[in-house]
Amino acid sequence: MTSSTNQFRTRKLQVRDDILIGIKNARENYGELSIISQDQQNTFYFKAENDMFLRLNSSFQRTYQQINNVVLDVTGSKDDKGIIVFATQSIVSTLNAIGTPQRLANYARVGSVGELRLAGEFSTNAANGVCTFDFYIGSVNIATTGSLDLPNLVGVSGAWNAVVHFTTIAVGDAKTARVKVDGCFQFSDKTGISNSINFNTENITTFQTTTTETIDIQVTPQNLTAMEVSNVAFFFLG
């Protein structure tokens, strides 16, 4: 089988908003790219040789991939009353990252889904280790895991990962726009047993889709001896 970039052409039809892709001088072998409106939304389709339309924009597209690991400060500090306070810290580092952790203005539509994938390691010195993840779009906290009780991992590290979905239910300004958030946080204890914690919530008051905002994830580790984030990635399905 031979291939050459000169063998393939794209041609925009004059009578329709379609694009034909195929082999030069072989009109019958052209495929067809079409924009079809369904439910008041434009969808991109490829018409195959069997006349079946295959939806192209139905898969997640990665918009941000973190490269550098983030090591969290787990020491804490005493306040003026002698109580140890643990710092809340961002785990998003754009240094050497691919893409930007942003949600663009008016980019989401009803049914759009964002997906966050996170992973790392942690260790504890007792059975009272706690960790909280908060998810932000701009200054708006759209979801929290609440306090996650972690297993006793003295002398060893436990692996953790999380997948979080943000589904746009309505678009517009705050109090009009709505987003549903569901996620699963998984970690392994020192015996290798995996534990899962699911969470879900809905924001109908402060979430909005009209301005470009930075996506951030903030973590509050308590009574941990170490915590590291090795992966943060954001995907979008329009």
Strand partners, 65: 98, 233
pLDDT score recorded for residue 238: 74
pLDDT digits (tens, 9 = 90+) for 138-177: 999 999 999 988 877 776 678 899 999 999 999 999 999 9
pLDDT digits (tens, 9 = 90+) for 73-101: 998 888 888 888 899 999 999 999 999 99
pLDDT score recorded for residue 163: 96
**14 and 85: one domain?**
no
**41 and 83: one domain?**
no
Number of separate domains in the chain:
2
**89 and 138: one domain?**
yes
**25 and 49: one domain?**
yes
**117 and 135: one domain?**
yes
**42 and 89: one domain?**
no
Which residue, 55, 72, 96, sits at the end of a domain?
55
**pTM for the full predicted model:** 0.77
**46 and 157: one domain?**
no
- φ/ψ (deg, to 5) at 28: -70, -15
**78 and 93: one domain?**
yes
Query: CATH no. for residue 112?
Result: 2.60.120
Closest C-alpha to 222, from 127, 139, 137: 127
Residue 114's Cβ-count burial label (10 Å; 0-12, 13-18, 19+) is buried
Map residue 233 onto helix, strand or coil.
strand
pLDDT score recorded for residue 30: 58
Q: Specify the residue for token string 């925009």.
A: 12
Domain with 19, as residue range(s), is: 5-55
Collect the ranges in the chain with pLDDT lower than 70. 1-31, 38-41, 48-50, 52, 54-55, 57-59, 127, 155-156, 190
The two three-digit tokens of residue 69, written as one number: 């690991």
**81 and 182: one domain?**
yes
